[in-house]
């Protein structure tokens, strides 16, 4: 398979420690193209060693977003209850 006209940054891991695969190619998202090569290689190495991506800031922000949404729902319920009790 040949990919034509693609201008992407790629990180290649050749030491996979797996008998099934000889190398792994990671395509870097355009918004992270300015990250240093060393940091990208470290992150790719962690992913290939563990078999799954390490936790990222995105997952942490999802928890924070869920907590904020829950707090807003609770505040809305309290205000509605107070308004209902007053009238």
Q: Do 37 and 71 sit in the same domain of this protein?
A: no
DSSP 44-86: HHHHHHHSSPPP-HHHHHHHHHHHHHHHHHHHHHHHHHHHHHH
Q: For residues 74 and 42, is the Cβ–Cβ distance under 8 A? A: no
Counting the structural domains of the chain, the total is 2
Model's pTM, two decimal places? 0.46
15-63 pLDDT, tens digit per residue, is: 777 777 788 888 888 888 888 888 888 888 887 777 655 566 555 677 7
Structural domain boundaries, residue 1 = 1-54
Same domain (yes/no): 44, 60:
no
Both 16 and 50 in one domain: the answer is yes
Shared domain for 10 and 48, answered yes or no, is yes
CA separation (Å) from 55 to 25, 27, 61, 74, 77? 20, 18, 11, 29, 33
């Amino acid at each position: 398979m040949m990919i034509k006209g693609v201008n992407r940054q790629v990180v290649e891991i050749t030491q996979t420690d797996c008998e099934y695969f000889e190398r792994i190619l990671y395509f870097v998202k355009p918004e992270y193209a300015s990250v240093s090569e060393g940091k990208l290689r470290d992150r790719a190495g962690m992913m290939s060693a563990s078999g799954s991506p390490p936790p990222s800031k995105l997952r942490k922000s999802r928890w924070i977003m869920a907590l904020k949404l829950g707090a807003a729902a609770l505040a809305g319920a309290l205000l509605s209850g107070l308004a209902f009790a007053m009238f």
